[in-house]
Structure 1
Amino acid sequence: MTTPSPDRVDLSALIKAYDVRGIVPEQLDDGVARAIGAAFADVVVLPEATGKPRVVVGNDMRPSGPELVGAFAEGLTARGVDVELIGLASTDGLYFASGSLDVPGAMFTASHNPAEYNGIKLCRAGARPVGQDSGLSTIRELAGDYLASGVPQVVDDARGSVTEREMLAEYAGFLRTLVDLSGIRPLKVVVDAGNGMGGYTAPAVLGTGAGLPELPLDVVPLYFELDGTFPNHEANPLEPENLRDLQRAVVEHGADIGLAFDGDADRCFVVDERGEPVSPSAVTALVGLREVARERAAGRTPTVIHNLITSMVVPDLITAAGAKTVRTRVGHSFIKAEMAQHEAVFGGEHSAHYYFREFFFADTGMLAALHVLAALGGQPHPLSALADQYQPYVASGEINSRVEDVAAARARVVEAYVTQQGAGPVEVDELDGLTVSHWDGHPQWWFNLRASNTEPLLRLNVEAADEDIMEKVRDDVLALVRQGEDA
């Protein structure tokens, strides 16, 4: 921990557990970016450097990005760190740069947040994450000190330099080496980039924009124009209303599949030929089984990571295929930590983040999309039939309840399902919130109830073997949670 400055600026509203995220310029301006750059140099870059310290920096399409990147680079060079600017990039494009160059990285993005936001995702060399417990809290404190007292400067001849480097073609070429689409049947693919970075990366990876050979894909673009004001819809496909344009276009064009990317294009959502969403759990199972088959063919016993609110189909199918599964808390820092610890070949989350060992244990929506395209194009059936194999159960989706007393609401659920065991014998764990499972009994169901870290909310996820059971468990738990509330 750093020694507190009496004038330290409090950046806790801007620098959270996983990244930097705030409104420009009220919370994040040039001065703050410069201070964070210098603190990143002192906490992460310089202690790990074996030669001349170097950082790679990218930014998404938000108008505030280039100026903030310039200020951040000033903070790094003031501390003697060289900066390579790769310019426009998706977040997984920045992870590729950090991983392939083996240097720390910084990505300026606010992902799916509205236009007035920007932020920074930081990583160590090799795309290893920087989170609250791995340096981010110290960066926050030191940046607060530098805002109060100024960024210390190295002597002139020790200052870092700033250069520019183009990496889109290398990124696209690398992904193409991991999944071969050259032999699949022709597919018509609608891609909704939401005016985010998918409009930059999709032409390079799926098309010939980076000078790569043509693939058997007929890509229909939706909102490929880079526009950080998001004029058509929010670049957050997790919200159903933001998928509607893609769903309509898939049906209108008679497409085989639809793909939607979020603002920084590190998440990918899939829609089948009927315009119906394919659940991220189904994608996790499909891609996981492909990676498991490849590992087992090489004589290895693979491990796949999934968080605790993905469908039971994931551990069911992955273990049946001869692999190990590891269940984690919700959140990319937990997934990445488990990925590295277990040398896992793949990891998936309900939020459509997909992690790959061959991609530096980092998340990449584009690589997941390539796997889905390969699976679809490698057999004759439509995506709806293919996906049905991986969606045998019924899920509620995440349901948020705003409650006055989170602890009391949770206690009512514990009393009903755990203390009294009114539902019969259940398994209970508190890995992340409260998970109650009746999966080994009849009827089959489980639910997870998690409190928000930032709001008086309880988040409920329910899954069951059929619709009626899911609805009963969902409604019973919600009634307990919302008892006495104005729901």
Structure 2
Amino acid sequence: MHPRLAAVTKAYDVRGRTPEQLDDGIVAALGAAFADEVGISDGRGRAVVGHDMRDTSPGFAAAFAAGVASRGGSVVSIGLASTDMLYAASGQLDLPGVMITASHNPAGYNGLKLCRAGARPIGLETGLAAMAEVAGGLLDDPVDLTTAPEPERLDFLQAYADQLVGLAPVAGRRLRVVVDAGNGMAGHTARAVLDRIDVEVVPLYFELDGTFPNHDANPLDSSTLVDLQAAVREHGADLGLAFDGDADRCFVVDERAELVTPSAITALIASRHLVQMPGATILHNVICSRAVPEIIAEHGGTAVRTPVGHSLIKAEMARTDAVFGGEHSGHFYFRDFYLADSGMLAALHVMGALAEQSGPVSELMDQFSRYAASGEINSTVDDAAVVTERIAEAYAAHDQDRLDGLTVTAPTWWFNVRASNTEPLLRLNVEGDDEAVMASVRDDVLALVRR
């Protein structure tokens, strides 16, 4: 693979710093390779393109369209979009698509998320590596960006909002909800969706700004939730919602401004699906709480444990005909949404469940939160494989599996260590029956990691 493509081609998408790693030429080459990969070259079809609010995104969308056009394909542009809005367009129009975004990455990054028609993902093993090979071969004979035809324009925001509200209606008492868009794409989509239901919205940072002047649009970082938590307290809100930069992930804080874990959200949405579809299959990844499969079983469902990562989860959902899947990172996947993830659809499910009963969201979520969790702890290591084996040896007397990294399980605790795909990091998640058990295991494993 050409070194410039190797630097930006990740497991599930393309991502890199601009313009040092990712520029118009590379994006155009990827557009040409994409047209070949999805079979829309030589006038045989169209692709749908959306982009986020980063300064480089409109130019990258145009460069990608030029690359598609250089192969004889054409583009339908939906303009500013969240990633789940692009998936909705790919699904409704039955077209392959690309979203120009670097998701939760800081300003100065950009990237591409790619899918086949029907929002079927394209990852490293399902076409992205082949595309990168083709694109690398085009860099010496670059696409002419000045001759591309103007793409067809489509205003898709209302169709997207209608679809989501139709999938997860919210009825009952009126809620007051603080929404922190983080200057990301939820600032474009949240109003269109939430204006269709009976909620009072308190907006935070809805102004689209790819420099992220208030905080990074990355709710996995707890420091980015501080303003949302303060606003929930100030306005006496029923709950708060925080979206990442491309709004495909959603995190929830309760009326006390305390974080509701994505595992608890997974269990809640699973239980709602199982009321409608008894016996259905629900997916959860290896770092979700042990409460998730317990609750799925208690509601008569079948729980399937998966590795981390959206391409893997979507493939497993298709294989098992699962109705829903959740990741502890705040990604939630829905069979009735093309197996794709949508932070906004997950938020509608939470609001729908809350509006149907009179108590606060903390009371609603208590039944789905059973154990003490460490959260994800990242450690820089020289060799993740060596450290992982050191941990496996130390815990050889306990049950272990290698579905994704190393998971070690005991009656009152479990932990998982996984190497990062992109950085020299080892990620640790620990859960215990109570805080003391969790902290003891966490500290013991960290001592092995950082020895």
- Could you say which TM-score interval applies, normalised by the shorter chain? over 0.9
User: 1:32: which partner in 2?
Assistant: 26
Q: Which of 97, 101, 119 matches 1:109?
A: 101
User: 1:427: which partner in 2?
Assistant: 399
What is the count of residue pairs matched by the alignment?
450
Q: Which of 226, 240, 245 matches 1:244?
A: 226
Assess if the C-alpha contact under 8 Å between 1:292 and 1:321 holds in 2: yes
Where do 1:69-148 residues align within 5 Å?
A: 69-148=61-140
1:397 to partner: Cα distance: 0.7
1:148 to partner: Cα distance: 1.5
User: 1:170: which partner in 2?
Assistant: 159
Give CA deviations for 1:140-165 in whole Å, capped at 9, x if unaligned.
01011111234499xx9xx9762100
Task: Sort the Cα spacing of 1:152 and 1:224 in 2 relative to 1 into closer, same or farther, 3 A.
Answer: closer
> Aligned to 1:11, what secondary structure does the other structure show?
helix
> Aligned to 2:114, what secondary structure does the other structure show?
strand
1:411 to partner: Cα distance: 2.9
Which AA in structure 2 matches 1:452? S
> Aligned to 2:140, what secondary structure does the other structure show?
helix
Give CA deviations for 1:74-125 in whole Å, capped at 9, x if unaligned.
1111211121000000000000000010000000001111111111101000
Matched, 1:187 2:175: yes
User: 2:282: which partner in 1?
Assistant: 304
Which AA in structure 2 matches 1:386? L
Q: Which of 337, 349, 372 matches 2:315?
A: 337
Give CA deviations for 1:4-62 in whole Å, capped at 9, x if unaligned.
8xxx5641001222111112222222211111101100112338x9x841100000111
1:405 to partner: Cα distance: 4.1
Task: Sort the Cα spacing of 1:374 and 1:480 in 2 relative to 1 into closer, same or farther, 3 A.
Answer: same
Q: Distance in 1 between matches of 2:351 and 2:248?
A: 17
Assess if the C-alpha contact under 8 Å between 1:59 and 1:66 holds in 2: yes
Which AA in structure 1 matches 2:408? V
User: 1:314: which partner in 2?
Assistant: 292
Q: Distance in 2 between matches of 1:454 and 1:267?
A: 20
Q: Distance in 1 between matches of 2:281 and 2:387?
A: 36
Q: Which of 242, 266, 280 matches 1:260?
A: 242
Matched, 1:198 2:210: no
Q: Distance in 2 between matches of 1:73 and 1:471?
A: 51
1:403 to partner: Cα distance: 2.6
Matched, 1:294 2:276: yes
Q: Which of 445, 450, 456 matches 2:413?
A: 445
Which AA in structure 1 matches 2:311? S
Q: Which of 258, 278, 297 matches 1:276?
A: 258
Which AA in structure 2 matches 1:176? V
> Aligned to 1:149, what secondary structure does the other structure show?
coil
1:385 to partner: Cα distance: 0.8
Assess if the C-alpha contact under 8 Å between 2:101 and 2:112 holds in 1: yes
> Aligned to 1:148, what secondary structure does the other structure show?
coil
Task: Sort the Cα spacing of 1:110 and 1:274 in 2 relative to 1 into closer, same or farther, 3 A.
Answer: same
Q: Distance in 2 between matches of 1:71 and 1:375?
A: 43
User: 1:348: which partner in 2?
Assistant: 326
Assess if the C-alpha contact under 8 Å between 2:10 and 2:422 holds in 1: no
Assess if the C-alpha contact under 8 Å between 1:9 and 1:145 holds in 2: no
Structure 1 stretches of 4+ with a deviation exceeding 3 A read 150-153, 404-408
Q: Distance in 1 between matches of 2:14 and 2:403?
A: 26
User: 1:235: which partner in 2?
Assistant: 217
User: 1:461: which partner in 2?
Assistant: 429
Which AA in structure 2 matches 1:196? G
Which AA in structure 2 matches 1:198? A
Task: Sort the Cα spacing of 1:321 and 1:407 in 2 relative to 1 into closer, same or farther, 3 A.
Answer: same
User: 1:217: which partner in 2?
Assistant: 199
Give CA deviations for 1:176-224 in whole Å, capped at 9, x if unaligned.
111111x3101100000000001111100001xxxx4xx3211000000
Give CA deviations for 1:226-274 in whole Å, capped at 9, x if unaligned.
0110000000001000000000100010000000000000000000000
Which AA in structure 1 matches 2:375? G
Assess if the C-alpha contact under 8 Å between 1:82 and 1:161 holds in 2: no
Assess if the C-alpha contact under 8 Å between 2:4 and 2:21 holds in 1: no
Percent identity of paired positions between Structure 1 and Structure 2: 60
TM-score of the aligned structures, taking structure 1 as reference length: 0.89
Q: Distance in 2 between matches of 1:250 and 1:136?
A: 41
Choose 1 or 2 for highest CA Rg.
1
Which AA in structure 1 matches 2:401? D
Task: Sort the Cα spacing of 1:231 and 1:79 in 2 relative to 1 into closer, same or farther, 3 A.
Answer: same
1:410 to partner: Cα distance: 2.4
User: 1:365: which partner in 2?
Assistant: 343
Assess if the C-alpha contact under 8 Å between 1:45 and 1:124 holds in 2: no
> Aligned to 2:368, what secondary structure does the other structure show?
coil
Which piece of structure 1 moves more, 93-102 or 109-118? 109-118
TM-score of the aligned structures, taking structure 2 as reference length: 0.96
Which AA in structure 2 matches 1:389? Q
Task: Sort the Cα spacing of 1:407 and 1:41 in 2 relative to 1 into closer, same or farther, 3 A.
Answer: closer
Which AA in structure 2 matches 1:93? M
Q: Distance in 1 between matches of 2:4 and 2:356?
A: 54
Give CA deviations for 1:355-383 in whole Å, capped at 9, x if unaligned.
00010000000000000000011001101
Q: Distance in 1 between matches of 2:116 and 2:149?
A: 18
Assess if the C-alpha contact under 8 Å between 2:25 and 2:143 holds in 1: no
Q: Distance in 2 between matches of 1:167 and 1:407?
A: 46
> Aligned to 1:39, what secondary structure does the other structure show?
helix
Q: Distance in 1 between matches of 2:86 and 2:31?
A: 16
Assess if the C-alpha contact under 8 Å between 1:37 and 1:76 holds in 2: yes
Which AA in structure 1 matches 2:362? S
Q: Distance in 1 between matches of 2:101 and 2:172?
A: 34
Assess if the C-alpha contact under 8 Å between 2:53 and 2:208 holds in 1: yes
Which AA in structure 1 matches 2:269? V
1:460 to partner: Cα distance: 1.1
Q: Distance in 2 between matches of 1:43 and 1:164?
A: 23
Where do 1:409-420 residues align within 5 Å?
A: 409-418=387-396
Which AA in structure 2 matches 1:71? A
Which AA in structure 2 matches 1:451? A
Which AA in structure 1 matches 2:153? E
